[in-house]
Copies of this chain bind each other. A is one copy, B any other.
Amino acid sequence: MEYILPFQRLVEKFASLRGVGRKTAVRYAFAVLDMSEEEAKDFSDAILSAKRDIHTCSICGNLTDEPICAVCSDEKRDGGIICVVEDARAVIAFEKTREYNGLYHVLGGVISPAKGITPDKIRIGELLDRISNGGVREVIIATNPNVDGETTALYISKLVSAKGVKVTRLAYGVPVGADIEYADEVTLTRAISGRREI
């Protein structure tokens, strides 16, 4: 063992975070030692409290510390539109745009035969139940633009269409601010086929 035990333990905890290498973990562990007793206590509590107090919204599956999340409980939002996303990270990304005024449905994953994730393991049934309750005009499918995301989008779109609700998919194209030179072929092909008159 390279370090004294309590330090080693902390380094390992930081290193278990995705994207944190050994050197960075050591740097973070030293940063904790540099904290005041109170700051370290706050940090420790914040981790416990995040795990204890944050759970998923009983309606949409978004993260919340209330029984129902801030989006679902906001009466000013348009309950006729549901944006279907893979996880709560995507909800945060959409909320940052301040443009979307509908509700969400967090699947908690995507269908992935390779990983053994079948449709019943993600929250598709809950989505269909919400639609059955009525009032939904449109379902926007915003799963990630990769194989599993596309499979899931297709699967859901069939089930939702069968209920007579409009299904849309996010537009594909060149990201704003990006250099066309560096766009991959698939994205460019989609950008061309999805071109719009100006």
A119 to chain B, nearest CB (A): 22
Which A1-50 residues have a C-beta within 8 angstroms of B? 2-7, 9-10, 12-13, 16-20, 24, 26-33, 35, 37, 39-50
User: In the complex the two chains form, is B47's CB within 8 Å of A40's CB?
Assistant: yes
User: In the complex the two chains form, is A9's CB within 8 Å of B39's CB?
Assistant: no
Residues of chain B within 8 A of A2, CB atoms compared = 92, 95-96
Query: Of A62-70, A126-134, A162-170, A173-181, which stretch is located at the interface?
Result: A62-70
Secondary structure of the A contact surface, majority rule: helix
Nearest 6 pairs between A and B by C-beta?
A40-B51, A44-B47, A6-B53, A10-B50, A10-B46, A13-B43
Q: Which residues from chain A sit less than 8 Å from chain B, CB to CB?
A: 2-7, 9-10, 12-13, 16-20, 24, 26-33, 35, 37, 39-54, 63-65, 70, 88-89, 92, 95-96
